[in-house]
């Protein structure tokens, strides 16, 4: 991929945030306020993409997101096409953007079909009729799991647990309601959409915790097999599927993390923060 294939001509706005958040990858407006950095919808020769530019508040967020999404794909999570490109290769950007960082993260939009017709997407803030400003306060993983189980099947339940577990392992405290979505590929049946917005926030916010309650707690260290059993029971999920998926995800993540962490473009501070974080998680250490 070459970002020069995706010429941009759009009005861009940005503002500071207190968290390294990313804008959802299915927005269609020509101007998006993105947390920490700039996010631009781009349509070019290669298809429809979201371009995420460097943050003025947090170091090397595009490199962080690319690394986490790459790891996610390695552990079997459904990840769209992604790339890390030079900011200098993207046309028509505001002057001075390159001073914030040299790389941009791009991700292929999954709300467009090959014939460029739109595919209906519904994030969980919409599912639960929650205003965006309440996306951290309403509902829980237990609530999300109930909907996924009712609307889809065991494959999506396993994918949900896989993503939940992965984001605990990387210390992503920003998996709020708008970062989980349903997709209606045939316009009738809902399934879990591809993954997006995976960033290790603990590198920027020491002591960060989950955006949503798992079943009883938001603390990463409380994401244990006991917590997952409680979630499975309350959400009426298959207990064995939930526990086996979590266990398999942890094992595969630890293998991939050990072999790949030194080769991914994340900042050294991100790598160190995740290493320290993993030592605090009972799901890893017991």
Average pLDDT over residues 261-284: 98
Task: Judge contact between 209 and 124, C-beta under 8 A.
Answer: no
Q: In what order do the strands lie in the sheet with 47-52?
A: 39-44, 47-52, 103-108, 82-86
Residues 145 and 246 in one domain: yes
Q: Quick one: DSSP state of residue 56?
A: S
174 included as an active-site residue: yes
Does the pLDDT of residue 158 top 70, yes or no? yes
CATH of the domain at 157: 1.10.1070.20
- Provide the residue range defining the domain that includes 245: 120-285
Tally of domains within the chain? 2
Is the domain of 126 the same as that of 102? no
pLDDT digit string (tens) for 35-89? Answer: 334 555 555 534 588 889 898 889 999 999 999 999 999 999 999 999 999 988 8
**Which is the catalytic residue, given 57, 156, 174, 222?**
174
Q: Which of 54, 73, 108 is the last residue of a domain?
A: 108
pLDDT digits (tens, 9 = 90+) for 106-141: 999 898 776 667 899 999 999 998 877 667 777 899
- Do both 101 and 124 map to the same domain? no
**Residue (of 181, 178, 164, 188) closest to 253 by Cα position:** 164
């Amino acid at each position: 991929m070459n970002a020069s294939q995706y010429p941009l001509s759009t009005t861009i706005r940005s503002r500071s945030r207190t968290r390294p958040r990313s804008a959802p990858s299915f927005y269609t407006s020509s101007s998006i306020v993105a947390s920490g950095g700039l996010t631009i919808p781009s349509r070019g020769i290669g298809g429809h993409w979201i371009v995420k530019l460097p943050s003025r508040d947090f170091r090397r967020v595009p490199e962080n997101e690319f690394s986490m999404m790459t790891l996610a794909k390695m552990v079997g999570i459904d990840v769209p096409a992604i790339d890390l490109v030079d900011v200098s290769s993207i046309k028509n950007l505001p002057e001075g953007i390159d001073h914030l960082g040299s790389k941009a993260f791009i991700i292929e939009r999954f709300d467009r079909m090959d014939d460029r017709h739109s595919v209906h997407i519904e994030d969980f803030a919409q599912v639960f009729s929650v205003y965006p400003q309440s996306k951290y306060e309403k509902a829980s993983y237990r609530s999300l799991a109930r909907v996924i189980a009712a609307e889809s099947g065991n494959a999506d339940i396993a994918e949900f647990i896989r993503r939940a577990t992965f984001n605990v392992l990387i210390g992503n405290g920003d998996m709020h309601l708008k970062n989980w979505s349903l997709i209606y590929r045939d316009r009738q049946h809902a399934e879990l959409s591809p993954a997006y917005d995976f960033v290790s926030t603990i590198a920027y916010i020491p002591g960060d915790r989950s955006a949503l309650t798992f079943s009883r707690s938001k603390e990463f260290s409380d994401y244990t097999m006991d917590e997952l059993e409680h979630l499975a029971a309350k959400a009426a999920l298959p207990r064995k599927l939930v526990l086996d998926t979590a266990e398999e995800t942890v094992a595969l993540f630890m293998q991939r993390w050990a072999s790949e962490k030194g080769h991914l473009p994340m900042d050294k501070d991100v790598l160190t923060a995740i290493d320290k974080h993993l030592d605090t998680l009972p799901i890893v250490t017991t």
